[in-house]
Chains A and B, each alone.
Chain A
Amino acid sequence: MNTPAISLKGLQKSYGQVNAVKGIDLTVNKGEFIALIGENGAGKTTTLAMLMGLMTPSSGFATILGHTPGTKPVRQKIGAMLQSTELPPVLKVHELIQLFASYYERPYDLANLIKLTQLDDILDRKYQALSGGQQRRVQFAIALCGQPEILFLDEPTVGLDMNVRREFWQILSDLKKSGTTIILTSHYLDEIEALSDRLIILKSGEIIADDMTSNIKKRAQHKNITCATNLDDIKLKAIPGVEAITKSGRLTTIATQQENQVLAELLRADPNLTDLSVYASTLEDALSNVLAPTTKN
């Protein structure tokens, strides 16, 4: 039972001169919910493709549940939802699901799967006649067909409205409770904040941060004070408790952990300041801190 769900050692992938993934070491334990984030081109999709057995690494090792990715025992135990997939448009929902379930030794009970993914009403519809949200649900059902131990979700909720996304989150957290290991990539930070245990940030093919999502969020355990003020940076920095100052347009944002003191001092120094607001930092702020030093290149 100690076999990790995923183990990567020095995983590398290059296309000609380009190093898409530059040596990733990573261990994911069974039952973990991992969020993988990074800008476009950071190597997320390439890393996932190697894990799912669609690409062979240029060097390094990857094992899934103790086996090489792409081998039969692994393929029985994983499921995936890929970015921008188009299923055969003229097949009906029940045909697609039945077909995919036939590939697995131990398929999900289809009546239950249909209930879970709310496909009851559209079983006889052709895939091309479905709305975007319904198509994503069919793709999700296909990912779950084999009762996967590891589920890969690459941008699963792009383009879905908030209600549908929340329903989807509910199913995912139920799956997590039942022990499924989940690897999620997403551009929606609220989704990552709501679901993931652990956050891995990729940049230019390398892991630049790997920590519990809550810890990464804590890194930005400060408040933001935004206002329009005439005070220059030197005077602002002189206020005790000010940690960082950023300017955008005529607004200045001050990051601090002692918002009361800073506010009092700020108002004393510039009684004429306007547009004042104070808000707690989000995962997004934390991530911009993590990514900040090397973002502008």
Chain B
Amino acid sequence: MTATTDTKTFKPANPYLLECKMEFLKALRTPQFSVPTIAMPLIFYLIFGVMLAGDDGQNRVLYLLATFGMFGAIGPAIFGFGVYVATERHSGWLDLKKISPMPLSVYLIAKLFMASLFGFIVISLLTTVAIFIGGLTISIQAWLSMALIELLCAVPFGLLGMAIGFSVSPQAAPAIVNIVFMAMSVFGGLLMPLNVFPDSLQTLAWGLPTFHAAQLSLSVFNFNSSDNLLLHTLFLLGFTVIMAIIANIAHKKDT
């Protein structure tokens, strides 16, 4: 085979950058992924957070911005890993990559990048709604802290998605991810404040990572119901480690 110097159309590229770009394009061009990921938190927030804000308007707009932002950041992480891993290991695309010299980190970082970028877009859109329709005022600094906390907290949910993706068929993956995601979101207090639930369910929430993530996000605005921020952080770190181990086992089992 010959190697000519004709490289004007194609330059050698960094696999990390290119994989990130392709992962994002792939998600953007798949309406089954991009539309619900962006529209679902936006519509829910518009109804529950802004239109039904009622007397305690400003507080509610801000409180639910913090929890819906968390919901909007977890969505692309859990779906992006869950559904795409299931699809790509079934289609042979992941096998082709494993045969190639691509480091596995390229695959994981690109998916994380895509999920974070989508999460950031959702958080930004929610904030736009909160400011322009909900009349909210929020400092840049507080907003950035919230966005950063939410994107970091979404990481272990990506690992949870990956564990599901390596365990179930691509046909089953969207439904399973949806059930897990919605149940965790509702009972962790992401879609409505926990105090609307009976005591037993409020206690149950302590077992859910979504609850702890929401507490951290809410703490930016002093809305957190418990002061134990260290405990919430440790719970999420533990959840991250366990999910990484389970995802790794599921991956090994699959090969």
| Chain A residues at the B interface, C-beta cutoff of 8 Å | 52-56, 70, 72, 75-76, 78-80, 82-88, 90-91, 95, 98-112, 126, 142, 145-147, 152, 175, 178, 180
Specify which of B10, B88, B93, B100 is in contact with A98 (CB 8 Å cutoff).
B10
Are B101 and A72 in contact, with the CB atoms below 8 A? Answer: yes
Judge whether B13 is part of the interface by a CB distance below 8 angstroms.
Answer: yes
Min C-beta distance of B204 to chain A, whole Å:
39
Are B101 and A102 in contact, with the CB atoms below 8 A? Answer: no
The bracket for how many chain B residues form the interface is: 20 to 34
Name the residue of chain B whose CB is nearest to the CB of A94. B10
Judge whether B150 is part of the interface by a CB distance below 8 angstroms.
Answer: no
Judge whether B22 is part of the interface by a CB distance below 8 angstroms.
Answer: yes
Min C-beta distance of A129 to chain B, whole Å:
12
Are B1 and A178 in contact, with the CB atoms below 8 A? Answer: yes
Are A91 and B10 in contact, with the CB atoms below 8 A? Answer: no
On chain A, the residues within 8 Å of B4 by CB distance are: 109, 111-112
Name the residue of chain A whose CB is nearest to the CB of B101. A75
Q: Specify the main secondary structure of chain A where it touches its partner.
A: loop
Q: Specify the main secondary structure of chain B where it touches its partner.
A: loop
Are A102 and B14 in contact, with the CB atoms below 8 A? Answer: yes
Are A90 and B99 in contact, with the CB atoms below 8 A? Answer: no
A56 and B255 alpha carbons, distance in the complex (Å): 8
* A100-B100, A102-B19, A112-B2 given; 9 more Cβ-contact pairs under 8 Å: A54-B98, A75-B99, A87-B93, A95-B25, A107-B12, A111-B8, A111-B9, A175-B1, A178-B1
Min C-beta distance of B107 to chain A, whole Å:
11
Pairs across A and B, CB under 8 Å, 14 listed: A54-B255, A56-B255, A83-B92, A90-B26, A91-B26, A91-B29, A95-B22, A100-B100, A103-B15, A103-B106, A107-B12, A110-B9, A110-B10, A180-B1
Are A102 and B15 in contact, with the CB atoms below 8 A? Answer: yes
A215 and B101 alpha carbons, distance in the complex (Å): 38
A78 and B93 alpha carbons, distance in the complex (Å): 16
Judge whether B196 is part of the interface by a CB distance below 8 angstroms.
Answer: no
Specify which of B9, B14, B91 is in contact with A85 (CB 8 Å cutoff).
B91
Are A86 and B93 in contact, with the CB atoms below 8 A? Answer: yes
Name the residue of chain A whose CB is nearest to the CB of B14. A102
- Which residues of B from 87 to 135 have beta carbons under 8 Å from A? 88, 91-93, 95-102, 106
Are B3 and A84 in contact, with the CB atoms below 8 A? Answer: no
The CB with the most chain A CB atoms within 10 A, among B2, B101, B255, is that of B101
